[in-house]
Structure 1
Amino acid sequence: MPRILHFGLGAFHRAHQAAFTQDAGGWQIESVSMRNPALSNALNAAGGRWHLVERAAEGPRVRQMTVIDRAHCLATDPAGTLARMADPEVQVVTATVTEKGYGFHPTTRTIDVDHPSITPDLANPTAPKGLVGALVEGLRLRHAAGHSGLTVISCDNLTGNGHLLAGLAGAFARLRDPALADWIARTCTFPDSMVDRITPASSDATFAAVRDATGQDDPLAVETEPFRQWVIGNRFAGPRPAWEKAGALLVDDVAPYEVMKLRMLNGSHSLIACLGAVAGLGAVRDVMAVPAFRTLVRRHMQAAADTLPTIPGFDPATYAADLLRRFENPSIRHLCLQIAKDGSQKLPPRIFAPAAEAILQGKTADAFALVTAVWIRFLQGRDDTGGPIAPDDPLAQALMLAASSDVAAVAQALGLSDRLPFSSGDWRGQVSGHLASLRRMGAMAFAEALT
Structure 2
Amino acid sequence: MTNAPRLTRKTTAPKAGIVHLGPGAFFRAFNAIYSQDAMDHSGGDWGIVAVSLRSPTARDQLRPQGGAFTSVSLGPDGADYRQIESIVDVLVAPEDPAAVVAAMSDPAIKIVSLTITEKGYCHAPSTGRLNLDHPDILHDLANPATPRSAPGFIVEALASRRAAGTKGFTVLSCDNLPSNGHLAREIILSLAAERDSGLADWIAENVPFPATMVDRITPATTDRDVAGLAQAQGIYDPACVNHEPFRQWVIEDSFADGHPAWDVGGAQFVRDVEAHENMKLRCLNGTHSALAYLGYLGGYETISDTVSDPAYAAFCQNLWAREILPAVEKPEGEDLNAYTAALLDRYRNPSIRHRTWQIAMDGSQKLPQRILGTLSAGLAEGRDCSGLILVVAAWMRYVGGVDEAGQPIDVKDPLADKLRAASDSAVDPAGKVAALLAVEDVFEAGLAANPEFRSSVTQAFEGLCENGARACVAKAFS
TM over 0.5: yes
Confirm or deny: 8 A CA contact 2:70 2:81 kept in the other structure: yes
Structural mapping, 1:67-216, within 5 Å: 67-216=86-235
Provide, for residues 14-49 of structure 1, a one-character-per-residue CA deviation record: whole Å limited to 9, x for no partner.
Answer: 111111111111321110011122321331221111
Q: Within 1, Cα distance between the matches of 2:128 and 2:88? A: 35
RMSD of equivalent CA atoms: 1.5
Provide, for residues 253-272 of structure 1, a one-character-per-residue CA deviation record: whole Å limited to 9, x for no partner.
Answer: 11111111111111101111
One-letter code of the match for 2:224?
Answer: A
Give the 3 Å change call, closer, same or farther, for CA 107–276 of structure 1 in structure 2: closer
One-letter code of the match for 1:7?
Answer: L
Confirm or deny: 8 A CA contact 1:62 1:210 kept in the other structure: no
Aligned with residue 297 of structure 1, among 316, 335, 341: 316
Provide, for residues 368-394 of structure 1, a one-character-per-residue CA deviation record: whole Å limited to 9, x for no partner.
Answer: 211111111212222222222121111
Confirm or deny: 8 A CA contact 1:57 1:329 kept in the other structure: yes
2:242 partner SS: strand
Q: CA deviation at 1:434?
A: 1.4
- Structure 2: any 5+ residue segments left out of the alignment? 1-14, 425-430
Confirm or deny: 8 A CA contact 1:189 1:235 kept in the other structure: yes
One-letter code of the match for 2:19?
Answer: L
Provide, for residues 387-420 of structure 1, a one-character-per-residue CA deviation record: whole Å limited to 9, x for no partner.
Answer: 2212111111222233353322111023566634
Pick which of 429-438 and 128-137 moved more.
429-438
Pick which of 441-450 and 287-296 moved more.
441-450
Confirm or deny: 8 A CA contact 1:366 1:427 kept in the other structure: no
1:8 aligns with 2:27: no
Confirm or deny: 8 A CA contact 2:155 2:188 kept in the other structure: yes
Structural mapping, 1:231-242, within 5 Å: 231-242=250-261
Corresponding residue of 1:413 = 439
Corresponding residue of 1:440 = 466
Aligned with residue 220 of structure 1, among 215, 239, 252: 239
Corresponding residue of 1:350 = 370
TM-score, normalising length: structure 1: 0.96
Aligned residues: 451
Q: Within 2, Cα distance between the matches of 1:310 and 1:270? A: 22
One-letter code of the match for 2:53?
Answer: M
Confirm or deny: 8 A CA contact 1:53 1:209 kept in the other structure: no
- Structure 1: any 5+ residue segments left out of the alignment? none
Q: Within 2, Cα distance between the matches of 1:359 and 1:446? A: 21
Q: CA deviation at 1:427?
A: 1.8
One-letter code of the match for 1:422?
Answer: A
Q: CA deviation at 1:135?
A: 0.1
Corresponding residue of 1:385 = 405
TM-score, normalising length: structure 2: 0.91
Corresponding residue of 1:330 = 350
One-letter code of the match for 1:135?
Answer: I
Provide, for residues 116-145 of structure 1, a one-character-per-residue CA deviation record: whole Å limited to 9, x for no partner.
Answer: 231111110100011000001111122222
Give the 3 Å change call, closer, same or farther, for CA 418–124 of structure 1 in structure 2: closer
2:250 partner SS: strand
Q: Within 1, Cα distance between the matches of 2:470 and 2:387? A: 17
One-letter code of the match for 2:406?
Answer: G
Corresponding residue of 1:370 = 390
One-letter code of the match for 2:239?
Answer: L
Q: CA deviation at 1:2?
A: 5.3
Confirm or deny: 8 A CA contact 2:51 2:92 kept in the other structure: yes
Confirm or deny: 8 A CA contact 1:20 1:243 kept in the other structure: yes
Q: CA deviation at 1:276?
A: 1.9
